Copies of this chain bind each other. A is one copy, B any other.
Amino acid sequence: MADHDAPPGPTPAWLDRGTSEIFPHNPGSTDGTDNLVARIHSCDRPLRIKLGIDPTGADIHLGHSIPIRKLRAFQDAGHTAVLIIGDFTARIGDPTGKSDVRQQLTPEQVQHNAETYLQQIRPILDFDTPGRLEVRYNSQWLSQLDLGKTLELLTTMTVGQMLAKEGFAERYGQGSPIYLHEFLYPLMQGYDSVAVAADVELGGTDQKFNIAVGRDLQRYFGQTPQFGLLLPILLGTDGVQKMSKSLGNYVGLGEDPLTMYSKLEKTPDGVLESYVELLTALDWDQLPENPRDRQKALALDVVAQYHGSPAAQGAQQAALTLVQGAAGQAEAVPEFSMAAIAFPVKSFYLVSAAGLCGTSSEARRQLQNGAVKLDGQRLSDPNQTFATPADLVGQVLQVGKKKFVRLVE
Taking Cβ atoms with an 8 Å cutoff, the residues of A that contact B are 88, 92, 94-96, 142-148, 150-152, 154-160, 162-163, 172, 175, 177-181, 183-184, 187-188
Contact = CB atoms under 8 A, between A and B. Distances in A.
A163 B163 CA distance: 12
A181 B152 CA distance: 7
B181 A180 contact: no
Nearest to A160: B177
Given A142-B147, A146-B145, A180 B159 contact: yes
Chain A binding surface, main DSSP class = helix
A129 B314 CA distance: 89
A210 to B, nearest CB: 15
A178 B160 CA distance: 7
A149 to B, nearest CB: 8
B155 A163 contact: no
A180 to B, nearest CB: 4
A200 to B, nearest CB: 26
A227 to B, nearest CB: 25
B154 A175 contact: no
A180 B162 contact: yes
Contacts of A94: 155
> Which residue of A143, A154, A158 has the most chain B CB atoms within 10 A of its CB atom?
A154
Contacts of A175: 160
A125 B87 CA distance: 50
B92 A181 contact: no
8 tightest A-B CB contacts, nearest first? A154-B181, A154-B180, A158-B177, A145-B147, A95-B155, A159-B178, A151-B181, A155-B181
